[in-house]
Structure formats: C-alpha cells, structure tokens
Amino acid sequence: MDDFFDTTLTPSALSSQDASLMRQALREASLALEEGEVPIGAVVSWKGKVIGRGHNMTERLHDPTAHAEMIALTAATEALGGKYLQGCTLYVTVEPCPMCAGALSWAQVERIVYGCPDPRRGYTRFTPSLLHPKTSTALASGEISEECSRLMLEFFRSKRGPSK
C-alpha cells in the first residue's frame, strides 16, 4: 500500500497559509475516521477564510456521492450564493476521484491542493484533463502529505483485520 506515495504531480512545500488550511482538512479527515468513514477531509477557502468544510459521509448518509469534496463544495457555493467557486481554493487530504474532479470543474474552483495521491481512484489515473482549464493544482509534500496517507493506510489496514 506504499503506492499512496506514487505520483505524477511533483510534491511541493506548502505556504504557511496552505499548510494551516490543509491542517483543517486533516481535522475533518480525523472526524471521518472516528465515524468509521474513509478518512478524507476537505475545506474550501475564499480570501483565506474557510467557507465550506466536509468529510467523507458515504456510510452515514448511505450515499456514494457523499465525498468530502462534494460536501465542502456544496457548503461553499451556498456560502457564496452562487454555483461557481472562482477565487476559491479547495484543500483535500487525498487526490480527488473523477466524480469530485468533475464537480470541481463545474464549480470552476480556482485551485486544488491535495495531500497525497490516490493511484487507484484518483482522477489523474483516469482523466487528468478533467479539471477546468483555469484550475491549478498542487500536491503537498513532507509531513502533511505523510499524515494524509497515514490516515488512509491505517484505515484500510484496520479494515483488513489483524495483520497477516
């Protein structure tokens, strides 16, 4: 499962504002973990302020579309009173899946920062061009990135039961 570290995007050091917002996304991911959900969290920021947050709720809501990004996106568009997230950055602990990348494209989110790649379900594996042409992406490196993937590794390890 070390392949969570594989990537096509070069990881980069985050600015202190990016790092602190990514920490908030990590907090959301921990909430998901406590609820037995896949530990992925997301926040949307606008002018440095968090306007939407969410974590994976597919089990609780019995909804396969209730990914962290979708919940944060809906909260953010509601906060802004429009369907677009121009000028917003979405922080998510794990690379978005194609569904979320599509939704973020519809929202024209300006920037996406994610914590670690998802070589199995990440959109770059399927359709790297899915995002809006004006959306830029960044992949975290170092401690934050490791924490994002560690949550996922622990979750899937616990799902598989005692180590073999």
Nearer to Zn ion, 94 or 138 (CB): 94
For residue 144, the tally of other CB atoms under 10 A from its CB is 22
Decide: is 148 part of the binding site for Zn ion (CB under 5 A).
Answer: no
Backbone angles phi, psi at 82, to 5 degrees: -160, 165
Q: Provide, rounded to whole angstroms, the least separation between the CB of residue 3 and Zn ion.
A: 18
Query: What is the DSSP pairing of strand 136-140 with strand 111-116?
Result: parallel
Decide: is 97 part of the binding site for Zn ion (CB under 5 A).
Answer: yes
Q: Provide, rounded to whole angstroms, the least separation between the CB of residue 67 and Zn ion.
A: 3
DSSP annotation string for 46-77: ETTEEEEEEE--TTTTT-TT--HHHHHHHHHH
Q: Provide, rounded to whole angstroms, the least separation between the CB of residue 33 and Zn ion.
A: 17
Decide: is 100 part of the binding site for Zn ion (CB under 5 A).
Answer: yes
Nearer to Zn ion, 8 or 17 (CB): 8
